[in-house]
Amino acid sequence: MKKSLGAKTLSTTPVWVVGSYDQGGKPNVMTAAWVGICCSKPPCVTVSLRKATSTYGNIMARKSFTVSIPSEACVMDADYFGLVSGKDVDKFAVSGRTPIKSELVDAPYVAEFPLIIECRLLHNFEIGLHTMFVGEIMDVKADQEVLGEDGSLDVQKLSPVFFDSDSRQYFKIGGPLGKAFEVGMNTGKRASK
């Protein structure tokens, strides 16, 4: 018998840092956990933000944003970027992190974060407290240190951060559980005999 926990946003979600420029060209970053991939063709991400954030206005004006994905080593910066508003402080200056202007979209990313996604705004949908932005992925860029020998991303080297909304804690990624589209094959085979 399952126990009701109520109607709430209970999930463990990736932690992404959203980069944007304000009207004067000042770079800003904010941390978001209501994020994800939402389409394969064109490749798109979704990031949901409150209207009260600086980033909301920046994305609406510039039609661009980036996602900088923190590794475990960047968790303090990622948390800081979600604690304060770009309206009050220059988060890059305070944290000592470096904004890099994307060559593809009108937004900055965090140089010290190992994986970044450059997006142009495709849609903004009003859901409620949050506005859902859909950005088309124009490129993904990674530091050499998080790539495997074949040049593809090595998730365990990246060591991405997840946010648990119930305990309000960050978690690291754990070990592999098997290949997708493979470990479940026995289920069908076993039962179809």
CB 79 within 8 A of CB 169: no
75-94 residues near its own copies, rule: CB under 8 A: 75-84, 89, 93-94
Closest of 175, 124, 159 to residue 15, by C-alpha: 159
Minimum CB–partner distance for residue 177 and its own copies (Å): 4
Closest of 192, 16, 26, 4 to residue 119, by C-alpha: 16
Q: Which is nearer to its own copies, 87 or 172 (CB)?
A: 172
Q: Which is nearer to its own copies, 23 or 186 (CB)?
A: 186
Residue 151 touches its own copies, criterion: CB under 8 A: yes
53: phi then psi, degrees, rounded to nearest 5: -80, 155
Q: In this chain, which of 18, 30, 33, 107 binds its own copies, going by CB under 8 A?
A: 33
Query: Which residues, including other chains, have CB under 8 Å from residue 193's CB and lie 6 or more apart?
Result: none
Question: How many residues line the site for its own copies (CB under 8 A)?
Answer: 104
Q: In this chain, which of 26, 85, 101, 142 binds its own copies, going by CB under 8 A?
A: 142
Q: Which is nearer to its own copies, 25 or 42 (CB)?
A: 42
CB 160 within 8 A of CB 13: no
